[in-house]
Amino acid sequence: MIDSHTHSEFSADSRMPLDDLIRTAISLGLQYLAVTDHLDRDFLFCDSKDIPQIDLAPYAAAMSAAKMKYGKKIKLAFGVECGYSKDSEKMCFDELALYETDVVINSVHTVENRDVYVESYYDGKTKDEIFIPYINAIGESLEIETPYDIVGHIGYIARKAPFPFRYADYDGLFDGIFKRMIQKGKCLEINSHVKFAKADFFPGKDLVKRYKELGGELLTFSSDAHQTYRIADKYGLIAETAKSLGFKYYACYTKHKPEMFLI
């Protein structure tokens, strides 16, 4: 098993000590674990400004110590989940240039400087008014200068949106995103942290299937765990889904190079 997306106490929304995260992953038998704490500079520009911000220096130091301590038992990757917005992109690029990360996940949590996790975001909006700007923000995020490896949780908006998030409704927009990802060599994650959504994982099987049909090969598994009990959550279900769609390997990033692990 592998897990390409987890959060420790260095993220504002997790209290999981880094040691607990790594030790649990080892006890579960994981071969590869990426710790990808939030670099959410996008929130500095949006309506949820009060979210505490990470200091990357102590996080980087803790990860390098953890690699020394646990490196023989598990392949550890020092990662960041970078929240995209037009206004914060330069800030993230400049900051990340100072660190030797292994993996960067490029995620959209805010749309037009509004936090889509806040329920009032959806008040009075139609399905198109919710999904089209979100999908377009993902499309924009693919072009950032920050070197990223994985496109995070496509469909995250379905955690709170009052409509299902389906390939068939926006096929042209999704095809554009997948084609661009494939062209740029970016990896799609299947993320099992759906919270309130009526789904098993993001993006749904209909979307992953289309990515594969268009020639997508780079795929990874992400629990997005913020607590120890969620590490590698739904691994079996997602592995079976990926295999049924014809995927044989998960890509796991070290120094931004994918290594393929048999699913």
The site for Zn ion (CB under 5 A) is made up of 81, 107, 224
Q: Closer to Zn ion by CB, 107 or 141: give it.
A: 107
Q: Which residues pair with 118 in a beta bridge?
A: none
Q: How far is the CB of 152 from Zn ion (least distance, A)?
A: 5
Terminal C-alpha separation, the chain: 8
Q: Closer to Zn ion by CB, 107 or 220: give it.
A: 107
Q: Closer to Zn ion by CB, 115 or 224: give it.
A: 224
Q: How far is the CB of 107 from Zn ion (least distance, A)?
A: 4
Q: How far is the CB of 262 from Zn ion (least distance, A)?
A: 25
Instruction: Phi first, then psi: give them for residue 15, nearest 5 degrees.
Output: -110, 10
Closest CA to 156 of 86, 120, 207, 87: 207
Alpha helix positions (H), the chain? 18-28, 56-70, 89-96, 127-141, 171-184, 205-213, 235-244
CA distances from 148 to 63, 69, 186, 226 (A): 19, 27, 8, 21
Q: Closer to Zn ion by CB, 8 or 107: give it.
A: 107
Is residue 70 within 8 A of residue 18, CB to CB? The reply is no
CA 249 from centre of chain = 18
Q: Closer to Zn ion by CB, 41 or 69: give it.
A: 41
Q: How far is the CB of 115 from Zn ion (least distance, A)?
A: 12
**Which H or E run includes 263?**
none
Q: How far is the CB of 44 from Zn ion (least distance, A)?
A: 16
Token pair belonging to 114: 């509004």
Name the 3-class secondary structure at 142. Answer: coil
Q: How far is the CB of 153 from Zn ion (least distance, A)?
A: 6
Q: Closer to Zn ion by CB, 85 or 107: give it.
A: 107
